[in-house]
Amino acid sequence: MSPKELKATYKSVFQSDDGKQVLEDMEKRFGLWRTSYAPNSDETAFREGQRDVILFIHATLKEK
């Protein structure tokens, strides 16, 4: 699958009604709108890694 085709697939999945619900759940579950900070630096890195996946999806959906 080409990068262009993959981007179209992301959009098809996450712009559907079901995809929007899943993405909303992932935003809440993986802390898109809250701080990743934890007293333990390993935990902070883990949380930021989860959050980065959601940011990647959002960036992919915004690309033309």
pLDDT per residue over 4-24, tens digit each?
999 999 999 999 999 999 999
pLDDT class of 64 with cuts at 50, 70, 90? confident
State how far the Cα of 54 lies from the Cα of 32, in Å rounded to an integer: 7
Flag whether 46 is in a domain: yes
> Hey, how many other C-beta atoms are within 10 angstroms of the C-beta on 48?
16
What confidence score (pLDDT) does residue 3 get? Answer: 95
Looking at the 3D structure of the chain, how many domains does it have? Answer: 1
Per the prediction, the chain carries an average pLDDT of 97
State how far the Cα of 34 lies from the Cα of 30, in Å rounded to an integer: 9
User: pLDDT tens for residues 33-42?
Assistant: 999 999 999 9
As a residue count, the chain comes to 64
Flag whether 1 is in a domain: no
- pTM here is 0.90
Helix, strand, coil percent values for the chain (each to nearest 5): 75, 0, 25
Provide the residue range defining the domain that includes 51. Answer: 16-62
Flag whether 7 is in a domain: no
